[in-house]
Amino acid sequence: MGSNTTLICLANLQSVPQERVEAARIDGASRFQVFRYVTWPMLAGAVTVKASLALFLSAACASCVVVVNTAYGFGGRAEV
């Protein structure tokens, strides 16, 4: 996990309203249930965007490696 991902998740964790967490605890929710039903829905948007960007960038980087390894894609002929 990169440092920017950590910062994004930390910022989102701090934005979770403590009133909702406290209300869930008063209603008898366990720590896991508080995370699953209160915290995770608040984090899901940022995590989805970050995961999508990471997937896109890794695919773009992988295509660059393929192009370079096949001599820039010229007929699939790589000269050694």
- pLDDT score, position 38: 93
Query: What is the pLDDT, as a whole number, of residue 71?
Result: 52
Over residues 2-30, the mean pLDDT reads 88
What confidence category does residue 18 fall into, taking pLDDT thresholds of 50, 70 and 90?
Answer: very high
Instruction: Indicate the number of domains in the chain.
Output: 1
Taking residues 32-56, what's their average pLDDT?
87
**3-state SS string over the chain?**
CCHHHHHHHHHHHHHCCHHHHHHHHHCCCCHHHHHHHHHHHHHHHHHHHHHHHHHHHHHHHHHHHHHHHCHHHCCCCCCC
Q: pLDDT tens for residues 46-77?
A: 888 888 887 887 776 666 655 555 555 555 55
Domain membership flag for residue 36: yes
Query: Is 31 domain-assigned?
Result: yes
pTM exceeds 0.75: no
Q: Which domain holds residue 47?
A: 3-73
